[in-house]
Structure 1
Amino acid sequence: MVEGDWTPRTGYLAARELVATPTVTAVLCGNGDVAAGVMRAAREAGRRIPGDLSVAGSTTYPSRPSSPPR
């Protein structure tokens, strides 16, 4: 478990080490903004979502889009 606030930046910073570890295959996030940061870190690390890594956020805010469509 990694603690932080509810922002994409926190998700990104917390996930950089996680996504660099090939045995990590899934990340469950507290909200969609954090999940967006995790997805950014995963893309930068060359991890494919959903192929290499599954990312889920438990809450999203429609007024705050966080990630580009695929």
Structure 2
Amino acid sequence: MADTERYRATFELVDTDGDGHISIDELKNLMAALGTEVSSTRAVEVVVAADADRDGKISLEEFAALMERTAHLA
């Protein structure tokens, strides 16, 4: 299990509406702020890949797990 506290601050920056989840739109906004435009299709693909409970959003736990997986790819 990923260490959620390690990723909490970043998660909270991305979760702009403060609802405790990262939506597709919040993910797209993050990528745009980082200088990389992503299509809606690609954003949906990322959310689906990270969304373990299939609620259509990324929770802190799912975000931490995603970050752990992608850190090993770098």
TM-score range, shorter chain: under 0.3
Larger radius of gyration: 2
TM-score by length of 1: 0.26
TM-score, normalisation: structure 2? 0.25
Higher helix proportion: 2
